[in-house]
Amino acid sequence: MSKRKHPSSRRTPQTPNEQDDAFVAGAIDFSQWARTHQQTLTFIGIVLVLLLAGGVYYVRFQRSLTIQAVNRLEIIHETIAFSAFEDAKTQLSTFLDQFGRTDQAREAVILLGRLHLEGGMPRWRSTYWSAPTSDCAIPSGSKLTLSWRAPT
């Protein structure tokens, strides 16, 4: 059997001054590399800032859209409370056109279907359900059909 030494046993211990010198040498090498690739680093920095700004804008826009949808749906609920069902149906149709991609659209479709069922239109089909959210069980592009039969 050959007697091999552990790799760390071959290293010579460095003093703290030698470690500092190695760090400074690495920093100098990096600064020289950065000077030669300054244009590329500037481009990467600009792209990262634009991506970050776009992400912040998108999150704020979605939050604002959700707040608008919630407020609008509350107004529609108040309309229903005043027994203005035909007006509520119109408002729900408009709501689905404007906020069809929000979570509140599912509630609006169910509410609109319920109004149609209570109004005597049990075979109503929603044409507004075109882009459900990912956690919804209805496949994308399908239509939600609400049917009701009178008890016999």
The string of pLDDT tens digits covering residues 48-88 is: 999 999 999 999 999 999 999 999 999 999 988 888 888 99
* The pLDDT value given to residue 140: 43
> What is the pLDDT confidence band of residue 144, given thresholds at 50, 70 and 90?
very low
* Span 4-29, pLDDT tens digits: 766 655 666 566 667 778 888 999 99
Beta bridge partners of 145: 125
Beta bridge partners of 144: 126
DSSP state of 14: P
Query: In the chain, what is the straight-line distance between the N-terminal and C-terminal CA atoms, in Å?
Result: 93
Q: Residue holding tokens 């956690």?
A: 135
Backbone angles phi, psi at 23, to 5 degrees: -65, -45
- Which residue type is seen at 151? P
